[in-house]
């Protein structure tokens, strides 16, 4: 019975994280919005203070990502990864692919943005992703500890 509940919990959290990334990816892909940059703040922060502190530096980075099309590519990958996580046979591939993406998102917020709520949200998603991957630890160990037979 314990395995049933663990399996059910794994499926529910996998579905939730998949739907979250599909939703966020779709939102980024269909949005034409850029992060607001106040000219006075831009001049004061970057030129006068020689700083790219948050949110000015973060907004410049995100606007550059959006304008260049890089953010659209990331959005499509987030949607694809979400779909992979929903399908049980491809769930492991989706979770593994999501790991570096969410790791990058988390640390971009920590170093560029540093809004506490964003750090908590992305940190929580990173932890959930790692916990979901723990279900597959035996498969990981068997890959690396497989003995060669001659």
Decide if 52 is inside a domain.
yes
pLDDT tens for 34-52 read 766 666 666 666 656 666 6
Is the predicted pLDDT of residue 121 greater than 90, yes or no?
yes
Which position has the token pair 């099309």?
A: 69
Please provide the distance, in angstroms rounded to a whole number, between the alpha carbons at the two ends of the chain: 41
Exposed, middle or buried, 122 (CB in 10 Å: 0-12/13-18/19+)? Answer: buried
**What pLDDT was estimated at residue 142?**
78
Is the predicted pLDDT of residue 150 greater than 60, yes or no?
no
Decide if 149 is inside a domain.
no
Decide if 150 is inside a domain.
no
d(CA 94, CA 17): 11
Q: How many domains does the chain have?
A: 1
pTM, entire model: 0.80
Computed from CA positions of residues 106, 16, 82, 65, in that sequence, does the dihedral angle turn out positive or negative? negative
| Averaged pLDDT, 40-65 | 70
Decide if 76 is inside a domain.
yes
**What pLDDT was estimated at residue 34?**
73
Q: Domain residues for 91?
A: 2-144
């Amino acid at each position: 019975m314990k395995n049933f509940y663990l399996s059910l919990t794994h499926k529910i959290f996998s579905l939730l994280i998949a739907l979250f990334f599909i939703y966020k990816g779709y939102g980024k892909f269909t949005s034409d919005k850029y992060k607001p940059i106040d000219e006075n703040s831009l001049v004061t922060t970057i030129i006068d203070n020689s700083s790219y502190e948050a949110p000015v530096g973060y907004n410049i980075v995100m606007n550059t990502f959006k304008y260049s099309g890089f953010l659209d590519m990331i959005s499509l990958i987030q949607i694809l990864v979400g779909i992979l996580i929903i399908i049980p046979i491809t769930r492991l591939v989706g979770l593994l692919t999501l790991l570096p993406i969410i790791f990058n998102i988390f640390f971009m917020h920590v170093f560029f943005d540093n809004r506490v709520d964003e750090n908590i949200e992305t940190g929580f998603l990173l932890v959930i992703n790692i916990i979901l991957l723990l279900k597959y630890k035996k498969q990981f160990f068997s890959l690396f500890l497989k003995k060669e037979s001659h």
